[in-house]
Structure 1
Amino acid sequence: ALLLWLAKQAGHNAASAEQVAGDLGLSAFAPDAAGPVRNWVLAQLPTTSGTPTPSAIQGGPVLEQRFIDDGTSTFTYMLGCPKTGEAILIDPVLGQEDEDRAWLQHKGFKLKYVLNTHAHADHVTSGSALRELCPGMKTVIAAASKAEADVTVGDGDKVEFGDYAVEVASTPGHTNGCVSYILKVDGTPRAAFTGDALLIRGCGRTDFQQGDSETLHDSISQKIFTLPGDALVYPGHDYKGRNVSTVAEEKTFNPRLSRSKAEFVELMAHLDLPMPKLINIAVPANMRDGRGK
């Protein structure tokens, strides 16, 4: 029951709760374990799917997360101000723009900004496509990315929507232009949308697109791990069905980032990962704000 309460407080789905239980050494929740308690707890929690999953941050904006299971396991986030009706989308995916517009309309929101965490290599942003569907909307990306957008931002800038705002935190290392967006409520950081910089029990790769392991370690240590421990971590991807983590969880249990910088650099140098299948299409398009040639 305590695990269930903690999971619901953090907004964990079943896979994320199972991850935490495993990290804590709770044998009853091991992947090969079975029993009425484990089954009951996990049955009370949502699973990751294409259906938007709401998250409650006390005093915060409406926040929903949508999992795009198109081979890239990408998350898109919608944050909306119920008072003014203004909303932002973080990392929307080309091909999903009609669904995203319907999602916003169903909630009664008008899209103000599309925020990209970086120039993605595995999918194309739908920013330009959404601009056609949502007149007046503007796209946002870091100036350091050197990509096209209606608005370019840097460390410490704020993107406002209604009574709320997200603050830009420069988190390079996966690419030069990676940023995370920090949601504060009453001045306190409550959530970080970390793109491909920090993932759940992992991080973005550093072997292409100006990647640098030392820089990534510094970015996460200085910009994310300095946030309150209960601040939620919303990643750009997850490949194991998990949806959310916390700063405290990642500082303690992340097998890459809980190492020293030297150990992290050594580990990252030997990952030997295949190139993203769409890199030659996605990167050029994303440098043009999601437009084709």
Structure 2
Amino acid sequence: MIFRQLFDAASSTYTYLLGDSGAALLIDPVYEQAPRDLALLEELGLHLQATLDTHVHADHVTGAWRLQRRSGSSIALAAAAGAEGVDRPLAHGDRIDFGSRHLTVRATPGHTNGCLTYVLDDRRMAFTGDSLLIRGCGRTDFQQGSARQLFASVREQILTLPGDCLLYPAHDYRGITVTSVTEERRFNPRLGGDVNIDDFVGHMSHLHLPHPKHMAVAVPANLRCGQPEGDAPADDMPAWAPLTLRFSGVWEIEPMALLEREGAVQIVDVREAAEFIDPLGRLPHAKLVPLSQLMNRLDELDRDRPVVAVCRSGARSAQASVLLAKAGFGKVANLAGGMLRWKAEELPVAADST
């Protein structure tokens, strides 16, 4: 089984990718991170079967609708949440298959009335959303929250899992990535040890926290599974060329796509001068700007025209793409595979190359 834990720094949200036999699930995707998630799925050779949200979030907008629009994935969420656009309304005891593996749904309301925990088939991993955080739990003062209900949910549905079961929350604000049932039974200051329901209700009644600053936007959007209001926005893919976003964050262009557009873009070769005239050759119309000089020669480039960075293998030009983007160039791509790939595909090189 493939497992990845991804992070959105703006909301401190963890997104989890689980894959098996070419099929994948994403738990708690974030709207802005959909391109990142799709890039990782492509690189790992996985088809996104479904997105699963643990609850209707108040601090970020889910990526469920956006991912569905790009990949055809189904949207799963608690039936109790009452959201629009859900393909699979979930209830306690439901099973979600992916490849040869599956998750079992456990209803864990209390933070919201639609909170779910997803438990892996061998009970070695569980995804608890905000019901149980690492040494904490979700608040219970809005979205039909109930401290008494949350206490029962965690004690009966999560902390009854095997002690070595790893627990993965939807958020952590200190950068801690995982905990276990045994740890939380012993050390969770709100729900572990000798804490009883009166202790817990008393604690949760006196948190006095401000509401999440994005709640007024996030909750209505998440009740639409992340679909924006009004007309659907245009596709967020770059329009100037067919590009692929890599998980590293770099946009790449295939050699043939560049050949078809070479007159409309600026081609910047970031190799050293000796490499520019070596037997590997160079692209027609390429401008030599070694990577070591790039930041000092930005004024030689037109910021209004797309830029494609090129090197021998694509490694140095990937870094050039990052630097150009940081410098404010809005249309930047890396030539996939560099000159090695260009030459292997027998595409034309400059006439004075040997």
Indicate the TM-score class for this superposition, using the shorter chain for normalisation: 0.7 to 0.9
Q: Please give the residue correspondences for 1:1-293 in structure 2 after superposition, counting only pairs within 5 Å.
A: 61-70=1-10, 72-81=11-20, 84-135=21-72, 137-148=73-84, 149-185=86-122, 189-258=123-192, 259-293=195-229
Question: Per-residue deviation at 1:223?
Answer: 0.1
Percent sequence identity is 50
Query: What is the CA–CA distance in structure 1 between the aligned matches of 2:14 and 2:103, rounded to whole Å?
Result: 17
State the Cα distance separating 1:133 from its structure 2 match. Answer: 1.0
Runs of 4+ in 1 over 4 A off after TM superposition: none
CA separation in 1, counterparts of 2:93 and 2:117? Answer: 11
Query: Deviation per CA, 1:133-190, whole angstroms, max 9, x where unpaired?
Result: 102x1010010111121110100001111101100000000000000000022xxx11
Distance 1:193 1:89 in 2: 11
Q: Distance in 2 between matches of 1:191 and 1:217?
A: 21
TM-score by length of 1: 0.76
The residue identity in structure 2 corresponding to 1:192 is A
Q: Offset of 1:132 from its aligned partner? A: 1.2
- Residue by residue over 1:101-137, the C-alpha shift from the partner in whole angstroms, topping out at 9 and shown as x without a partner, is 00111111010000000110000001110011102x1
CA distance in structure 2 between the aligned counterparts of 1:86 and 1:292, rounded to whole angstroms: 27
Aligned partner letter, 2:61 = V
Displacement of 1:280 = 0.5
Per-residue CA shift, 1:188-243, capped at 9, x if unaligned? x1111000100000000001110100000000000001100000000000011100
Greater RCO (CA < 8 Å, at least 6 residues apart): 1
Alpha-carbon distance in 1 for matches of 2:34, 2:8: 12
Which protein is bigger by CA-based radius of gyration? Answer: 2
Q: How far apart are the structure 2 equivalents of 1:159 and 1:132?
A: 21
Look up the SS of the partner of 1:202 in the other structure. Answer: coil
Query: Aligned-residue CA RMSD in angstroms?
Result: 0.7
Q: Distance in 1 between matches of 2:90 and 2:3?
A: 22
Q: Which residue is equivalent to 2:319?
A: none
